[in-house]
């Protein structure tokens, strides 16, 4: 007989198995084995007729959840039950947070073991941690389970009550959520600020000075005793100086006159201030700060960060990655301090061990920060990791080690100078002792910001010195609109406002993008017109649900329920069924919401209407006695839609597309058009004989007014052949695809080898030599490592037929399994952690079957077409 241990994933099972005695059997539950119904087909027959059935929660009987085992989990449940038959003890070893506690409780409810059952928890997968956990098992924490269940029910009530309303009033497939809708509103609010923004302009002077052959810069700060206006003095809504500010605003003419007046005048140092600054290292990572830094430094999305961290945890490289705590255990502090001594020396070690306290009142997840696992920390180069996993581990390692390093000591220097009635200022920074900066410098949301360890050197100066002015320049500036949210800054805002749990931010941001509420461009989240429409509806009719303070208070109540400070049932009753509860609000206000109004978006300074239609956003404008409509290109954001853009879009609709000229060989007209995917050129007109004329999108960065006939001809000729590859004899071409301009080498049976063009390369003029140079460079994967072949996210094993590997990869269209030349995408509800070789084989078999079916239909269609043509020819 054995002891059966159940964890969530196969990877975790394999790692833990190495640290347990031989009579322990470790199996994976593949995440949750049951949940609330996800579709109508999963609702039990016994309750299908109930009006609350679609919620999956019996709101009439103390909000009793209706749990079901999904079809794809029934096989897992059977396997676990079979394993249980041969066991004499059951150990539930799921993660130690609320979600993990809930999974263990559901396993207990479904498996109904008749043998002793224990709950084992640990925050790192090392031999010592696992053996220690075995000696300190406990019972399932019902309070944690209840807290998670209440949160799940509340989220279901919000989502499943409001989402159908959005389908009716705006568009099918939209969704609302307790945290999701607030997050979308934050994005929309920032975009509204950008739209309302009015640019201000100001001028100042910048001088290049020299003292003892050491050059340094200085900026104008006062004139005749009055402060010179800078960007912070402007009102973003008016573009004017904020009322009440006493500043001098220089225009270009005044700045240049001052420049001329001060040229060749004597400069004098009037004041010098040196201020010592001590900087302490940041605390070790929590879930939120890890997501922020990985986004800033590694360009990883929150979803990719959590997926990679999960892999590192399950393989035993780091501690549990869902945590609000910055606390480090004594063994972790000792391991970090040992690394500091060995790699940087005693002088870089903090005099005393540093311990950090968690500021968040609601911190309740794992009890230690994210750090390298074990009593000793493996250096990144000793792990054998590569790609994205190596990058993230190195980030965690550096942050943890730096937390036990000495302070950084710096001196900030300010020098004031005068030339006639103008006051200038120079600032410098001297690093007296780098301390923790030797190991780690915290990232910034501003990619142009100087790093904290970058010195600005000033010469030795004293009051009364007269440095020589080498150059004096008048510089113009324009104020900038508020920056859009990045994933990092959105996560930071959500956490600071107390909205949601950090462990859910990755899935929330992913949902916002997947549901079409935001687009990701240059690492920023840009809300769509749909996001504007949904936010406006919720703000007008359900203001509390998108109010940050209301949502934060709701989060606080949920945490109080988990500690027993608040009662869950009265809270749910009031929230959902009370006089002003959600159910009542939806019932009373549904008839008040006009779909035409809900689908309309009000954008100031526009005379046209913007609406959400079946095929996306469009413009509706009056045209004589009637109105005309025109689609808005997908890459055009709400803040960028102005009167000029509207004019261009409507001109095509009213006057027809712009004709650039005729094709020199065919005589066909070439048009410049704007479609839902942006501007493009088209050869010929759409007709019965020519239903799909050749089209080619404009390369990114090319403006409509810059498109010439020659450029259009070049684009329509793509892909263009550059020559023959000297090594293979294969064709080399340049083209423009979904992901931008590229060069491709046709290697015959080996397939096609693609490379994206660099920023300075032009797809219309790139030479064969340059193409060969680009093709010779190894491909760069998303994780930053260069390799001709992709590194799999997960290796599943060998295919039983040909023993070839079956692996999981990340591609441009999502996660997929690969065997040979067959790729099959993972269903949305199946994570990388849950995919098994058996499931992968099913997906691959289904894909092959589908491909054969399509080929068969195509073949039959072709034969039918030929037969039809034959019959026609014989009847003539």
Give the count of beta carbons closer than 10 Å to the beta carbon of residue 623: 12
Distance of CA 343 to the CA centre of its chain: 34
C-beta of residue 498 within 8 angstroms of C-beta of residue 288: no
- DSSP, residue by residue, 560-577: HHHHTSS-HHHHHIIIII
CA atoms within 13 A on the CB side of 363: 18
**3-class state of residue 600 by DSSP:** strand
The whole-angstrom separation of Cα 511 and Cα 518 is 9
Burial of 857 (0-12, 13-18, 19+ CB in 10 A): exposed
Q: Say which DSSP state 497 is in.
A: H
What is the β-pairing status of strands 695-697 and 678-683? antiparallel
- Measured between alpha carbons, how far is residue 860 from residues 232, 279, 848, 868 in Å? 70, 74, 18, 12
Please enumerate in sequence order all residues whose Cβ is within 8 A of that of 57, keeping only pairs 6 or more positions apart, or say none. 36, 63, 64, 65, 66, 153, 156, 157
Q: Of 259, 262, 251, nearest to 477 (Cα)?
A: 251
Query: Treating both helix axes as pointing N-terminal to C-terminal, what angle do 287-298 and 505-514 enclose, rounded to 10 degrees?
Result: 50
C-beta of residue 536 within 8 angstroms of C-beta of residue 529: no
> Longest C-alpha distance within the chain, in Å?
108
Q: Say which DSSP state 122 is in.
A: -
- Measured between alpha carbons, how far is residue 768 from residues 282, 607, 721, 757, 764 in Å? 50, 50, 9, 13, 12
Q: Of 143, 46, 860, nearest to 566 (Cα)?
A: 143
What is the β-pairing status of strands 201-211 and 214-223? antiparallel
* Residue 38, phi then psi, degrees to nearest 5: -95, -15
Query: Cα dihedral angle (492, 498, 500, 502), rounded to 10 degrees?
Result: 40
The whole-angstrom separation of Cα 217 and Cα 101 is 60
Give the count of beta carbons closer than 10 Å to the beta carbon of residue 517: 24
The whole-angstrom separation of Cα 393 and Cα 551 is 34
Q: Both ends of the chain: CA-CA distance in Å?
A: 83
What is the β-pairing status of strands 695-697 and 524-527? unpaired
Burial of 814 (0-12, 13-18, 19+ CB in 10 A): exposed
The whole-angstrom separation of Cα 421 and Cα 405 is 47
The whole-angstrom separation of Cα 216 and Cα 239 is 32
Annotated active-site residue 320? The verdict is yes
The whole-angstrom separation of Cα 466 and Cα 461 is 9
Give the count of beta carbons closer than 10 Å to the beta carbon of residue 226: 12
Write down the catalytic residue from 19, 317, 320, 436.
320
Distance of CA 9 to the CA centre of its chain: 24
What is the β-pairing status of strands 731-737 and 2-7? unpaired
The whole-angstrom separation of Cα 143 and Cα 319 is 24
* Residues carrying an active site annotation: 320
């Amino acid at each position: 007989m054995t002891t059966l241990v159940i964890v969530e994933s196969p990877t975790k099972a394999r790692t833990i198995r190495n640290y347990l005695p031989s009579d322990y059997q470790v199996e994976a539950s593949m995440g949750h084995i049951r949940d609330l119904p996800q579709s109508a087909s999963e609702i039990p027959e016994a309750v299908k007729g109930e009006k609350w059935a679609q919620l999956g929660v019996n709101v009439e009987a103390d909000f009793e959840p209706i749990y079901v085992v999904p079809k794809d989990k029934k096989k897992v449940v059977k396997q676990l039950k079979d394993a249980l038959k041969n066991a004499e003890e059951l150990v539930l070893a799921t993660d130690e947070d609320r979600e993990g506690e809930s999974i263990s409780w559901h396993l207990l409810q479904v498996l109904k073991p008749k043998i002793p059952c224990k709950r084992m928890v640990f925050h790192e997968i090392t031999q010592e941690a696992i053996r220690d956990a075995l000696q300190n098992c406990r019972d399932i924490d019902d309070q944690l389970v209840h807290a998670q269940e209440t949160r799940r029910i509340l989220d279901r009530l919000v989502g499943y009550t409001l989402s159908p309303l959005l389908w009716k009033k705006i568009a099918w497939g939209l969704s609302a959520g307790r945290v999701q809708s607030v997050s979308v509103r934050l994005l929309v609010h920032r975009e509204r600020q950008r739209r309302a923004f009015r640019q201000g302009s100001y001028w100042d002077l910048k001088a290049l000075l020299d003292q003892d052959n050491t050059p340094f810069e200085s900026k104008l700060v006062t004139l005749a005793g009055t402060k010179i206006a800078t960007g912070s003095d402007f009102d973003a809504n008016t573009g004017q100086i904020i009322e009440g500010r006493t500043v001098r605003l220089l225009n270009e003419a005044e700045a240049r006159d001052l420049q001329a007046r001060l040229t060749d005048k004597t400069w004098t140092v009037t004041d010098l201030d040196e201020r010592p600054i001590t900087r302490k290292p940041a605390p070790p990572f929590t879930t939120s700060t890890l997501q922020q830094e990985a986004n800033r430094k590694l360009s990883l999305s929150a979803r990719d960060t959590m997926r990679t961290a999960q892999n590192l945890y399950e393989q035993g490289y780091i501690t549990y990655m869902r945590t609000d705590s910055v606390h480090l255990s004594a063994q972790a502090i000792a391991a970090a301090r040992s690394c500091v001594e060995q790699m940087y020396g005693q002088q870089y070690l903090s005099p005393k061990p540093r311990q950090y306290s968690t500021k968040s009142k609601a911190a309740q997840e794992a009890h230690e920060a994210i750090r390298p696992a074990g009593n000793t920390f493996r250096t990144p180069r000793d792990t054998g990791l590569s790609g994205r996993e190596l990058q993230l581990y190195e980030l965690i390692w550096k942050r943890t080690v730096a937390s036990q390093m000495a302070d950084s000591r710096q001196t900030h220097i300010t020098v004031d100078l005068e030339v006639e009635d103008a006051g200038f200022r120079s600032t410098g920074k001297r690093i007296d002792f780098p301390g923790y900066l030797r190991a780690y410098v915290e990232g910034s949301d501003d990619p142009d910001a100087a790093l904290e360890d970058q010195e600005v050197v000033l010469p030795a100066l004293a009051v009364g010195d007269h440095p020589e002015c080498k150059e004096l320049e008048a510089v113009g500036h324009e104020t900038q609109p508020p920056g859009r949210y990045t994933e990092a800054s959105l996560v930071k805002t959500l956490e600071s406002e107390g909205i949601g749990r950090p462990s859910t931010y990755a899935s929330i941001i992913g949902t916002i993008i997947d549901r079409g509420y935001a687009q990701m461009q240059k690492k920023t989240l840009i809300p769509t017109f749909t996001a504007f429409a949904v936010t406006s509806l919720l703000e007008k009719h359900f203001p509390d649900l998108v109010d940050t303070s209301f949502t934060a208070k709701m989060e606080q109540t949920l945490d109080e329920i988990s500690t027993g400070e608040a009662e869950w049932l009265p809270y749910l009753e009031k929230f959902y069924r009370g006089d002003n509860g959600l159910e009542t609000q939806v019932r009373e206000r549904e008839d008040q919401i006009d779909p035409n109004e809900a689908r309309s978006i009000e954008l100031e300074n526009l005379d046209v209407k913007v609406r959400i239609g079946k095929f996306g956003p469009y413009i509706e404008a009056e045209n004589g006695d009637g109105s005309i409509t025109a689609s808005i290109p997908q890459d055009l954001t709400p803040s960028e839609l102005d009167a000029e853009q509207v004019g261009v879009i409507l001109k095509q609709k009213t006057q027809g597309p712009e004709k650039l000229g005729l094709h020199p060989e065919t005589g066909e007209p070439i048009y410049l058009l704007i479609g839902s995917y942006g501007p493009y050129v088209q050869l010929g007109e759409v007709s019965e004989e020519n239903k799909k004329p050749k089209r080619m999108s404009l390369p990114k960065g090319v403006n409509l007014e810059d498109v010439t006939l020659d450029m259009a001809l070049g684009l329509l000729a793509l892909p263009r052949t550059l020559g023959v590859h000297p090594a293979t004899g294969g064709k080399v071409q340049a083209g423009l695809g979904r992901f931008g301009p590229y060069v491709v080498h046709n290697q015959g049976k080996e397939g096609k080898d693609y490379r994206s063009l660099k920023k300075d390369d032009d797809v219309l003029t790139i030479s064969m030599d340059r193409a060969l140079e680009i093709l010779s460079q190894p491909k760069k994967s998303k994780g930053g490592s260069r390799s001709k072949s992709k590194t799999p996210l997960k290796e599943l094993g060998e295919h039983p037929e040909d023993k070839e590997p079956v692996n999981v990869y990340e591609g441009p269209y999502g996660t997929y399994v690969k065997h040979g030349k067959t790729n099959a995408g993972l269903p949305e509800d199946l994570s990388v952690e849950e995919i098994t070789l058996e499931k992968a084989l099913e997906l691959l078999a289904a894909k092959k079957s589908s491909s054969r079916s399509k080929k068969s239909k195509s073949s039959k269609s072709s034969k039918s077409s030929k037969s039809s043509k034959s019959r026609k020819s014989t009847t003539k």
